[in-house]
């Protein structure tokens, strides 16, 4: 299914916006980058930490998106896949609304293992799931009778799309989180952070519910 230009632009805008949103969220790790810079007394340590957080986040996005891209060989069940993905995202959001406790596993990871921490944090908070309905919309796939070779070609195209979506999303996240970390490290300081700390847990959970519902609606709507 070919998507019109405005719909495609809106979907790619959602990829970038979700990346910025993830970057702003302290739960995705930018306070750890500030801490790394302050502990070592060098801004390069903060930059390395941001890079490690970005790498872990990218791996988490791919770990979620790639299985869905490979499901495109099941071309007769695309609507079902999109509805199922939306339901999964909604369920994750409802779970986070009910269970407000942060995963204990994250607290047990050594501060130097930021790639692993970032990967697990993104998985635990459903960050990759939030991207799935948007990604499936970008794929814009319809059921068809193209045969096995066409299905393989479609799967290959969607695997490439998964990498592009994950990279664009992670780049936006890194820029947003990096700018906040740099502003606090160079200008605002820890006192500002302690006074203005914000918790996005409830907003984050509701955003999962909204994105999942949006994906379900558009699956039924034929987009």
Helix locations, the chain, DSSP H: 5-24, 30-40, 43-70, 78-98, 104-107, 114-124, 127-139, 147-183, 189-196, 201-221
What pLDDT is attached to residue 11? 86
* pTM (whole model) above 0.85: no
Q: Report phi then psi at 20, rounded to 5.
A: -60, -40
- 85-126 pLDDT tens trace: 888 889 988 888 887 666 666 666 776 789 999 999 888 888
- 171-210 pLDDT tens trace: 999 999 999 999 888 887 766 666 655 666 788 888 888 8
Tokens at 133, concatenated = 């309905």
Angle between helices 43-70 and 147-183 (to 10 degrees): 160
Q: What is the dihedral of CA 31, 32, 33, 37, to 10 degrees?
A: 100
């Amino acid at each position: 299914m070919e998507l019109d230009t405005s719909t495609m632009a809106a979907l790619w805008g959602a990829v970038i916006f979700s990346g910025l949103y993830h970057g702003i969220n302290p739960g995705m790790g930018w306070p750890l980058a500030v801490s790394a810079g302050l502990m070592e007394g060098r801004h390069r340590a903060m930059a390395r930490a941001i890079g490690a957080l970005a790498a872990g986040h990218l791996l988490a996005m791919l770990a979620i998106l790639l299985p869905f891209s490979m499901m495109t060989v099941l071309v007769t069940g695309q609507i079902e896949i999109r509805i199922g993905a939306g339901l999964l995202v909604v369920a994750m959001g409802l779970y986070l609304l009910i269970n407000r406790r942060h995963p204990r596993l994250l607290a047990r990871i050594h501060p130097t293992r930021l790639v692993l921490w970032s990967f697990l944090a993104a998985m635990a908070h459903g960050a990759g799931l939030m991207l799935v309905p948007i990604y499936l919309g970008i794929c814009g796939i319809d059921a068809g009778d193209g045969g096995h070779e066409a299905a393989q070609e479609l799967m290959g195209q969607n695997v490439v799309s998964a990498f592009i979506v994950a990279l664009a999303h992670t780049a936006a996240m890194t820029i947003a989180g990096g700018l906040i970390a740099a502003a606090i490290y160079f200008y605002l300081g820890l006192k500002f952070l302690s006074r203005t700390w914000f918790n996005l847990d409830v907003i984050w959970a509701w955003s999962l519910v909204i994105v999942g519902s949006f994906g379900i609606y558009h699956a039924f709507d034929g987009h």
